[in-house]
């Protein structure tokens, strides 16, 4: 299989020898500062390893650290571990606060949270992943990064296209692909490569793109991206888009190869749609249950210093804080809308982990600061000595919230079991 892959790349690249040589070199690693919580330069001061700027993402950095996610600041959502070339697609969309934005194939959440940073909590960000297990991982990352205006959905693109025709101002399609840009990073990418898989991916991408175009509002923009090099999945699919949908215009494109630029490999193309209509959707009307509202009001008076923006919305047994512009969720498989605040636990309000990570840290009134040694114990789920408080508090490291605990005789750990380190 690899022989056939290399033969194809030889035909594609005039500098093939340089590419072939780079395949035996270590992959590039990167992180992206989460500007919803911290500035990029401030993050540089906190982290114990060197950071070198990524040219196509102002908040992105190259790292040589073997496991850059093994710090408490990662658990606090101050940064996202992301391959550097994968950061090139989202900036092309140039999303703005207040827009309607869709990331159609969003898991695990790198590009979606990248878009969220530019939206600054304003507007509606729909993050979709059709595979349930991957959608749950997506939700975990959205919560960790403190994204307040996202709706996380698990649906087929075809179903979404029927529901959201002409609705979105900006759409990102980071489509499933043959993964040729992952060859240095993941052994499975080489093992699974075949011409048949390339052709299958190219056909599937066309179907996904057709759905995306249907959801694009007049005057909107769409970015199509892959982490592969095959022309069938990249340039030819871009040409197919222009042929099938003549109201689209190719604005720009770029392709990153690991022997030419510091990135594992990515293709991204920006399209604009000619001016036209922008659809409206029926707004969400279900208000929060009165009992939940009362419990939250009493709890938040002690836990928070200020009222959080948005509106209260009952979601299953829980209470969420959602954007004012939220559309009706009827008929959609929604994992979460906005920030999950907590739920009614037998007549008392029990806060959710997402609240500690989603609320602005200067809005938190009840906090417990941990030492470096205590942080590791907290992340393992251990009980800690009391900090002299009473009741629920946000557990912090250097002022940045990691999760929740309940203080009293001891600091009772409420860090989610599924996130605990071993």
Measure Cα distances from 89 to 35, 124, 288 in Å.
18, 19, 37
What lies within 8 Å, CB to CB, of 222 at 6+ separation is 170, 171, 172, 173, 212, 213, 216, 248, 270, 271, 272, 273
Report, in angstroms and rounded to the nearest whole number, the Rg of the chain calculated over CA atoms.
Answer: 22
In this structure, what DSSP letter does residue 107 have? T
State the Cα–Cα distance between residues 319 and 341, nearest whole angstrom.
6
Contact in structure between 368 and 403 (CB atoms under 8 Å): no
Contact in structure between 334 and 142 (CB atoms under 8 Å): no
State the Cα–Cα distance between residues 321 and 352, nearest whole angstrom.
12
Q: Dihedral angle at the C-alpha atoms of 372, 137, 55, 35, nearest 10 degrees? A: -60
Start-end of H helices in 245-364 = 290-303, 353-358
State the Cα–Cα distance between residues 311 and 288, nearest whole angstrom.
9
Task: Identify which of 173, 167, 171 has the alpha carbon closest to the alpha carbon of residue 276.
Answer: 167
Phi-psi region of 371 (alpha: psi -120 to 50; beta: other; left: phi over 0): beta
Residue 88 annotated among the catalytic residues of the structure = no
Give backbone dihedrals phi and psi of 315, rounded to 5 degrees, phi first. Answer: -135, 100
Q: For residue 225, what are its two tokens?
A: 């991206």
Q: For residue 18, what are its two tokens?
A: 């340089």
Measure Cα distances from 267 to 111, 112, 239, 335 in Å.
14, 17, 14, 30
End-to-end CA distance of the chain: 38
State the Cα–Cα distance between residues 267 and 296, nearest whole angstrom.
46
Q: Which of 154, 177, 211, 227 is catalytic?
A: 227
User: Exposure string (b/e) for 80-108, b if CB count within 10 Å is 16 or more?
Assistant: bbbbbbbbbbbbbbebeeebbbbbbbbbb
Which residues are catalytic, by number? 227
């Amino acid at each position: 299989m690899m022989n056939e892959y290399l033969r194809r790349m030889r035909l594609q690249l005039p500098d093939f020898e340089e590419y072939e040589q780079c395949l035996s070199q270590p992959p590039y690693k990167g992180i992206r500062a989460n500007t919803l919580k911290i500035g990029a330069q401030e993050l540089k001061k906190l982290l114990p390893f060197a950071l070198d700027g990524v040219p196509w993402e102002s908040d992105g950095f190259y790292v040589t650290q073997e496991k850059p996610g093994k710090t408490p600041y990662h658990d606090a959502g101050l940064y996202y571990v992301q391959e550097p070339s994968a950061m090139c697609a989202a900036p092309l969309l140039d999303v703005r606060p207040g827009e309607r934005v869709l990331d159609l194939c969003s898991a695990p959440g790198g590009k979606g949270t990248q878009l969220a940073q530019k939206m600054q909590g304003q507007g509606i960000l729909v993050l979709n992943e059709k595979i349930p297990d991957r959608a749950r991982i997506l939700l975990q990352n959205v919560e960790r990064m403190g994204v307040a205006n996202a709706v996380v959905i698990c649906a087929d693109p075809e179903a979404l296209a029927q529901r959201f025709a002409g609705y979105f101002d900006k759409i990102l399609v980071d489509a499933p692909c043959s993964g040729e840009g992952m060859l240095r990073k993941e052994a499975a990418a080489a093992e699974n490569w075949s011409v048949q898989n390339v052709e299958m991916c190219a056909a599937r991408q066309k179907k996904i793109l057709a759905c995306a175009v249907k959801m694009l509002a007049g005057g909107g923009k769409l970015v199509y991206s892959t982490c592969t090099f095959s022309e069938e999945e990249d340039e030819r699919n871009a040409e197919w888009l222009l042929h099938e949908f003549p109201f689209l215009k190719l604005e720009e494109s770029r392709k990153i190869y690991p022997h030419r630029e510091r990135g594992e490999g990515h293709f991204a193309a920006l399209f604009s749609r000619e001016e036209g209509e922008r659809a409206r959707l029926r707004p969400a009307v279900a208000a929060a249950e009165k009992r939940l509202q009362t419990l939250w009001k009493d709890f938040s008076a002690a836990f928070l210093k200020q009222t959080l923006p948005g509106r209260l919305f009952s979601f299953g047994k829980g209470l969420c804080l959602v954007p004012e512009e939220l559309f009706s969720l009827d008929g959609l498989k929604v994992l979460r809308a906005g920030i999950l605040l907590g739920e009614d636990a037998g007549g008392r309000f029990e806060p959710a982990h997402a609240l500690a990570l989603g609320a602005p840290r200067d809005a938190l009134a009840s906090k417990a600061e941990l030492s470096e040694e205590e942080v590791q114990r907290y992340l393992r789920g251990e009980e800690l000595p009391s900090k002299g408080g009473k009741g629920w508090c946000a557990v912090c490291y250097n002022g940045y919230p990691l999760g929740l605990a309940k203080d009293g005789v001891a600091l009772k750990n409420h860090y989610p079991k599924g996130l605990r380190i071993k």
